Structure 1
Amino acid sequence: MYEYLTPHADPLIEWLNRAISEQHINFFNYEKFTEISLINNGGFGTIKKALWNQTKLTVALKSIKSDIKIDDKIINDFIKELKTLQKVSFHPNVIQFYGVTKDPKTGLGVILWEISSGKPPFESNTAYQSIIQINNGIRETPVEGTPSQYVDLYERCWAEDPNERPDAESVLETINRIKNPKINSDLINLEDSRELISHIDPLLKDIDVFLIPDKLRLIHRASDDGFGKKIFFKNTKNIERSILILHIRDTNEIIGGYNPLAWRELKGFGSVDSCYETCNNFIFSLKRGNLENSIFSKVKCPKRAIYREKGLGPAFSLDLFMVSDKKGGKTWGCFKSDYERPIRHADEYFQIEDYEVFQYL
């Protein structure tokens, strides 16, 4: 069984199209073939093994190599081979020729790549050279700045096995998600996220909003998973580079902190290692709708950056911490201690509506 390429003004393609239309050669939908694997690369083309789902037969798929110069002799030899196979295919000792199939695996993927790049693939090639290259697995490289979800989408459309390619409905759903990116948060939006990311990594100050969902992974939401310290430490165990975000009741303030280290619960009291040292963390207060006035406060005493005390939940020293589980995890405190600036107007305890924890990827 032969794979053939998309119709172009080429003698071989024209001959195949005519033979199919006149029903001299059968045409089969490429989607009917699965479990495709390479058998060999011959002088003329590649040979792949595949399962023909309709008949449950194992068949050979042959396709033309990309570096073959198509001339009249090759065309005539190709046609001669097909005609010969048609004549003798009834013999049990001869590999049967069933027909041809068009491999559509690149169609949608190529279109998606072309949309992202603004130009046709393999622009310097002739149309026929491009088709041959694509058919043999050669792909254009992603354009710099293309959202990773979009790259992943069109690369999945290029999958060799049809079963691994997304259907049209899932492609549309993915494109809509990319077109309207959202962060998995009930407390912050994309602009808030970009502000936070810019303080973690200043090089990403102008990060494209399309890329932000890839950078933040939700690992805990108190309203879904629980407010207490035990569930907090369980869900954040061994996870570094976490962002804690709090929504304060009554005032609707959004505050929090960034911890580059993994959170660890202290079982004892007042031990030598009750504090973790780091100079790369900070606490913050986001001013919604006026982000330029947000407060970002760096640690001034790195040895007390992350405080560990029996009974307390997560604690950025005493500058921001969860009070013991006796308060249900909804009571927190801010008391200026080891960070440069206070993130609230007064040292006090307060109640929260919710909190979320993200891992920065």
Structure 2
Amino acid sequence: MPIISTLLPPRRILNTKLPFRDTSIPLPSNIITNEHALEISSWIDKKEIPYTENNPYEFELLVKGSRDGFDVKNIYNICDKVSNTVIVLKVVGTGEILGGYNPLQWTKETNGRNPTCDSFAFSLKTSNLKNSILSRVKNHNYGIGFYSRDSYYSFGHTLVLRYNLKTRKRSYCRINGESFDKPIRPAEFLSLDHCPPSSDKSTFNVEEYEIFKVSKRNDF
């Protein structure tokens, strides 16, 4: 008996590219963008090639100046015993976005310097700054300064936050590079002195600031 079989046409191979699956988590910030958050996450992980998508970290908003107040003492009360935090702040008049990463646990019980090799300060890219500036801790003994009683918080002398961040104009960045490896502001805005007065050009106040708890994502 002759064999009869049905011949099917050749299978077509589709080269259609599937759409990119965006697994990013919405960023609860009025200061920084998702691009900024990816850059900060890259610095935390010390990546030579920065993340460009799918941030492996979640940024949980803990403190916001316009909601929780601008006094540094408020930050100690809210963040006490919390570790791995990022602070970002927008400077009045210049539009600069300054900040830093603190891997240590906040403490309102002690005053003094706390050693760490992993903290860093930064100035983020804006319309007035072409590339972000990263400043890593150089002398680990100057990593983070916790001074709750004095309403004072610092990343060495590279970024010093004092009193009421909105009204007192006493925060500053110092030119002395003993603690971190580079300044995060232009030379004209760097202080030569420790704790300069509010009349000094180096001091600043902020429009807004935010603090985030940064945690590895479970779904990543």
TM-score normalised by structure 1 residue count: 0.45
Q: State the partner residue of 1:249.
A: 92
* Kept after mapping to 2: 8 A contact 1:221/1:356: yes
Moved over 2 A (4+): 202-209, 265-268, 289-292, 324-331
Tell me what 1:206 maps to: 51
CA offset at residue 358 of structure 1? 0.7
Q: Which residue of 1 aligns with 2:30?
A: 186
Q: Could you tell me how far 1:265 is from its partner in structure 2?
A: 2.7
Q: 1:300: Cα distance to partner?
A: 1.0
Check 1:222–1:326 CA distance in 2 against 1; reply closer, same or farther (3 A cut). Answer: closer
Matched, 1:354 2:208: yes
Residue 289 of structure 1 and its aligned partner are, at CA, apart by 5.0
Which protein, 1 or 2, shows the higher relative CO under an 8 Å CA cutoff with sep ≥ 6? 2
Distance change (3 Å), C-alpha of 1:349 and 1:292 = closer
Deviations 1:277-306 (A, max 9, x none): 001010000122588721100111101111
Give the Å deviation of 1:146. Answer: 7.2
Q: Which structure's CA Rg is the greater one?
A: 1
Aligned equivalents of 1:342, 1:242: Cα separation in 2: 21
Q: CA deviation at 1:219?
A: 0.7
One of 64, 69, 86 as aligned partner of 1:226: 69
Amino acid at match of 1:253: E
Q: Percent identity?
A: 30
- 1:353 counterpart letter in structure 2: E
Given the alignment of the two structures, is residue 341 of structure 1 paired with residue 182 of structure 2, yes or no?
yes
Equivalent residue, structure 1, for 2:9? none
Does residue 135 of structure 2 align to residue 297 of structure 1? yes
Q: Is the 8 A contact 2:77 2:108 kept in 1?
A: no
Q: Is the 8 A contact 2:73 2:151 kept in 1?
A: no
Question: Whole-Å Cα distance in 2 between the matches of residues 326 and 195 of structure 1?
Answer: 25
How far off is 1:208 after superposition? Answer: 2.2
Q: Deviations over 1:247-293 (max 9, x none)?
A: 0000000010000001223556xxxxx11000101000012258872
1:138-158 CA-to-partner distances (Å, cap 9, x unmatched) read xxxxxxx773xxxxxxxxxxx
Unaligned runs of 5+ in 1: 1-117, 119-144, 148-177, 269-273
Gaps of 5+ in 2: 1-17, 192-201, 216-220
CA RMSD of aligned residues (A): 2.7
> How big is the shift at 1:225?
0.8
Q: Aligned pair count?
A: 179
Aligned mates of 2:27, 2:34 — CA distance in 1: 6
Tell me which amino acid in the other structure corresponds to 2:137.
Answer: V
Could you list the per-position Cα deviations for residues 176-214 of structure 1 after superposition, in whole angstroms to 9, with x for gaps in the alignment? xx7xx63100001111111111111145832524x46x6
Amino acid at match of 1:313: Y
Aligned equivalents of 1:336, 1:353: Cα separation in 2: 23
* Greater per-residue helix proportion: 1
